A = this chain, B = another copy of it.
Amino acid sequence: MTGEDRLLAAILGGLPPGGPPVLVGPGDDAAVVAGAELEAGLLLTVDAAEEGVHFDRVLHPLPAVGRRAVAAAASDIAAMGGRPLAALVSVVASPGDLDAARTVMAAAGRRGAELGAPVVGGNITRGDRLGLHVTVAGRMAEGARPLLRSGAWPGDALFVSGPLGASALGLELLRDRIGSRSTDPAESPWVRAHLDPQPRLRLGVELVGVATAAMDLSDGLALDLHRLARASRCGAVVEAARLPLAAPAKLEAALFGGEDYELLFTAPRGRVTSRMAAGGAAWSGVTRIGRVVSREEGVRIATPDGRSRSLPPRGFDSLAGGEP
C-alpha cells in the first residue's frame, strides 16, 4: 500500500458506515450510490477551504475546519431544496502535516454522516498548505423542483432564515479570546455558529413550492442579495430595522459578514406567513427583511427615517482574500 492508501484506509475505514443508499464506499475506483430516488434530479456542488483564506489554524481547531467545509457544501444543497446524499473530500497537506490532514478528513467524515452525506471517497495529496475540497451530491424529493436564484419577482417579499452576523461575531470573539486566553470560546453561541454552522436542510426542503428564489448566505447578505437580484433580473430593498441581528452584532456584520449559512429567499408574503403561523420547527427564525423591486431600482437598504441608500455588493471573495 502507498502512504496515501494507508492513510485513506485508516481514516475512511474508521468512519461510520454509510449504509444505504451507499452501495460501494471508499476504496474502489469510484463510489456507487443507489440511484433509485434520484429521478427528480441530482444536485452537485463543490466548496474549497484553504488555509489562510477560509481558515486560520490559530483560530480554527482542525476538526472545525473539516466540519465547516462539509456544512458549507451541504448548505448549497439546502439552498436548492434538496437532501444531501454523499460527499467526496480531497485534501492537500504538506508531508509534515499528515496528522492535521487526518484530523480534518475524519471530522469531515463525521459531519457528513450527521448531515446525511457520508464521505464515500477522497484523496490526500502532497502540497504546501492545508486545504480541502468538498463535493456534496444531493437529491431532490420526488416531484420537487429545485429552488433557483433566478425566480424572484417584483412584489415578492424577501426573507432570511435566522440571525445574521453570528459567524462574524464568533470570529471576532475567537480573535479576542485567543489574545487574552481568558474563557473557553466554545461557551459562546456565536463562536459555535462560526465553528460549527448548521445548514438549513429542513427549511430548504419545505421551501420547495413556496419560495420563488433561494440561496444560502455564504459571503454576506449584501453580496449574496446582489447575486440573487442579478440572477432574477430584479432589484431589492432591505429594511434595516427588520434585520435579525445576532445581538450584539452590528449592522455591518449582518450585511457584510460571511458564513452565516442561513437561507435568503423570496416568496409571495402570504405563502410564508401562513406556514409560519402553522408553526413547525423548520420555520423558526424566518424573518421578513424586505421586498423584491424592479431591476431599475437596484439593491438598496432603507432606514427607519424613510430614506434608502444603495447597498454595495461587498463581502467575502475567495480570490481577493480578506477574512480567514
Chain A: residues with CB nearer than 8 A to chain B?
1-5, 7, 23-24, 27-36, 38-48, 50, 52-54, 76-77, 79-80, 82, 85-86, 88-90, 92, 95, 98, 120-129, 131, 133, 135-140, 146, 148-150, 215-216, 219, 223, 226-227, 230-231, 313, 315-321
Contact = CB atoms under 8 A, between A and B. Distances in A.
A127 to B, nearest CB: 5
Contact of A32 (B23, B41, B318): B41
A45 B27 contact: no
Given A4-B319, A28-B231, A41 B46 contact: no
Contacts of A47: 90, 123
A81 to B, nearest CB: 10
B148 A24 contact: yes
B32 A35 contact: no
A113 to B, nearest CB: 16
Given A2-B223, A88-B135, A42 B42 contact: yes
Contact of A41 (B34, B219, B223): B34
Nearest to A47: B123
Q: How many copies does the complex hold?
A: 2
Q: Is the interface of A mostly helix, strand, loop or mixed?
A: mixed
A219 B5 CA distance: 12
Given A2-B315, A95-B319, A219-B2, A30 B43 contact: yes
Contact of A5 (B121, B127, B216, B227): B227
B320 A3 contact: yes
Contacts of A133: 46, 48, 90, 133
A30 to B, nearest CB: 4
A125 B318 contact: yes
A222 B154 CA distance: 63
Contact of A123 (B31, B46, B215): B46
A-B pairs, top 8 by smallest CB distance, nearest first, are A35-B38, A2-B317, A30-B45, A29-B79, A3-B319, A133-B133, A29-B76, A46-B88
